[in-house]
Structures are given as structure tokens and as C-alpha cells.
Amino acid sequence: EEPILKVENLKKYFPIRAGILSRVVNHVKAVDGISFSIYPGETFGLVGESGCGKSTTGLTVLNLHEATAGNIEYRGNVINEIDKEELRKLRKDMQIIFQDPFSSLNPKMMVGDAIGEPLEEHGITKGKETRDRVIEMLEVCGLEASHYYRYPHEFSGGQRQRIGIARSLALNPSFIVADEPISALDASIQAQIMTLLEELQEEFNFTYIFIAHDLTAVKYLCDRVAVMYLGHIVELAPTENLFKDPLHPYTQALISAIPVMDPLAKKEKILLEGDIPSPVNPPSGCRFHTRCRIAEDICTREIPQLEEKEDGHEVACHLVK
Ligand code: SF4
Ligand code: MG
């Protein structure tokens, strides 16, 4: 099967400017050479601590940030190279769900109009048709037709996320980047939004990247997961394998930190010491070596490449045989 999205050696650097001439003095290497493919119908998790490059990856594959280097191929189109008009056509097929839907909604616009706006902009529907589509979207997203005439501030966080999801889905996209869609919500609301995403995927058949720092949500929703650390993917595996048999020391630490409900379950907690180093001057060799408890000499010298160790289970670590 052909991937819907194929990312090859993707880099996204942000320039740091200084001085009165505002010269570029350095770069934040937010994403520094990552490759992965996503297949139709998949839910693909991207996890890691804040600053690891997961959101930048999501925005860059949608071309909302311009890639610094590498290839992003969406259904055979190299989207970081095609012209504006082609990109505009693809735009409605590739949507984003934001972490904070409130900031992406115009406070002075009725939510119905906000949801309908992209439909009219892309010339998909007009007038009454748009209204009908919006009401349908409100209802499938667990809201009510009467909410059409209300304003964003009248809704709770969970409801606003439902509005954000309705707006992204109104265009019936095939591919969605959900950038930490539940991180800002209370635990009980998080579960509701996860269930909603599952139901909607069933109904609308989209493929999506689910970005999170919370491994619990990823375990529940995703088919495969890529773990990121300082701009690199350090491990990529089917979700079950990743949780049963994490190979990278960083993944092992993240998984060991998930609270266990069973008080009798014995689990060693691996503490991650220190902070994430700066993505401006990342550590040499393996970027995780400053925090890795089994690091050896080679780790400070050579960058480990992502290699397949078991079926579909890739890891970047010198010491995993
Ligand atoms: Fe640790 Fe070395 Fe493996 Fe990096 S390559 S995770 S430093 S053992
Ligand atoms: Mg983020």
C-alpha cells in the first residue's frame, strides 16, 4: 500500500537574529532530519517533551511552516515544492486541529459562520447549503444546531475543541494534524474528545497525526507512534510493540513514568535527569547522551541512525542490537 504522506529527511530550522543589522547568528534546529511514512486510515502518534519538534513537524508537513530541507510527499505531490495554486487545492484536503481552539476562533464571529467560512472560501458550498453542512457538523461533533448563533466565549474548553474539530472536518479532509488537541483540557473532557476523534475517524475515514506529550492518550488512540527527542525521531513502532517492548532508553523512561493504577504492579521508575538541552547547540553524537544512564563513548561521537530492529520497529541507539 502507498503511504498517504511520505516525509524524507525533513529539517526545519528557525533563524536567531541579533544586533542592529539583525544578522542570523544561529538557528534553532527544531526538526533535524526526520523520515517517516503514514498510511491511509492510520492514526500516527508523535510524542515527546515540549520543545522536541513535534508541533513543528506537524505544521511543516502541512506546509504552514516552510521546510528548511527534505521532502514532504502527500499523495504523490511534493508539497514543499509545488506552486501556490496546486497547494491551495490540496489545502482543503489537509487540515489542522489546534491545541487551543479559542485562539483560532474569531471572538466576534458566530461559531456557525466560523465553521462555514472555509467551506465558502474553498467554494465548496454557498448560503443555505453551507448552513446545512455546518449544522450537520455541529451535531456529529456533539454540539447542537442552536449553537450556530452563539459566540466562542459562551462555550467551555471541551465544547470549543468540538467547534475546532467541526471546523477542520467540515471540508471533509483526508488528512489531519491534531496538534495536542486534548492537552489543555481536564482529564474527563480529554476522554470525551478522544472518543469523539475515534468516532469521527470511523465515520469520515481520515488519516491523522496525533501530537501529544501524554503517552496514555497515544496508547489509546494510535496505530503507530514516533517518539521524538530534540528534533530527531528516536523510536518508531506499532503502538503495542512500543509499550510492550520499548527499545530506546528515552522511550523506556517515558513509559516508566506513566502512573500505574494497580498498586501491586511492580514497576521501576526511570528518572530522567536534567533538562532537555538546547536545540540551538544540541549535544554531539546521540542527542540523548547527556541524560542517558547507559551512554558509552561512542554515543558522544556518532549520531545513531534510525534502524529497523524488528518488524516495523525502528530505533536509533548504538547499544540496541
Ligand atoms: Fe543512550 Fe547511547 Fe543509545 Fe543514545 S545511543 S540512547 S546515549 S545508549
Ligand atoms: Mg507543541
| Alpha helical stretches, state H, 64-110 | 84-91, 101-104
The pLDDT value recorded for residue 266 is: 65
The answer to whether 25 and 17 have CB atoms below 8 angstroms apart is yes
Q: Near ion ligand 2, which residues have CB within 5 Å?
A: 55
Inter-CA distances, 299 with 157, 232, 234, 303, Å: 44, 15, 13, 7
The pLDDT value recorded for residue 264 is: 66
- Cα(183) to centroid of ligand 2, in Å? 9
Reported ipTM = 0.95
CA nearest to 305, candidates 296, 316, 314, 321:
316
Domains along the chain with CATH numbers = 5-93+173-259+267-315 (3.40.50.300)
Residue of minimum CA distance from atom 4 in ligand 1: 286
User: CA 86, CA 314: separation in Å to the nearest integer?
Assistant: 34
First to last CA, the chain: 29
User: CA 55, CA 1: separation in Å to the nearest integer?
Assistant: 27
The pLDDT value recorded for residue 321 is: 87
- Cα(317) to centroid of ligand 1, in Å? 5
What atom of ligand 1 comes closest to residue 294's alpha carbon? Answer: 8
- For the Cβ of 288 lying below 6 angstroms from any atom of ligand 1, the answer is yes
Residue 42 in 3-state DSSP? coil
The pLDDT value recorded for residue 265 is: 64
| Dihedral angle computed from the Cα positions of residues 116, 119, 121 and 124, in that order, rounded to the nearest 10 degrees | -150
CA nearest to 152, candidates 118, 107, 97:
107
pTM: 0.94
Residue 187 identity (one-letter amino acid): A
User: CA 116, CA 118: separation in Å to the nearest integer?
Assistant: 6
Conformation bin of residue 274: beta by default, left when phi > 0, alpha when psi is -120 to 50: left
Mean pLDDT by 10 residues, the chain (321 residues): 96 95 94 98 95 96 95 93 87 91 86 95 94 97 97 94 95 96 91 96 96 92 98 98 96 88 70 86 96 96 95 96 87
- For the Cβ of 318 lying below 6 angstroms from any atom of ligand 1, the answer is yes
- For the Cβ of 227 lying below 6 angstroms from any atom of ligand 1, the answer is no
- Cα(260) to centroid of ligand 1, in Å? 26
Residue of minimum CA distance from atom 5 in ligand 1: 317
- For the Cβ of 292 lying below 6 angstroms from any atom of ligand 1, the answer is yes
Report the b/e string of 131-153 with b at 16+ CB within 10 A. bebbbebbebbbbeeebbebebe
Residue 31: DSSP 8-state: E
- For the Cβ of 286 lying below 6 angstroms from any atom of ligand 1, the answer is yes
Residue of minimum CA distance from atom 8 in ligand 1: 295
* Burial of 66: CB neighbours in 10 Å, binned 0-12, 13-18, 19+: exposed
Q: Which ligand is nearest to the CA of 252?
A: 1
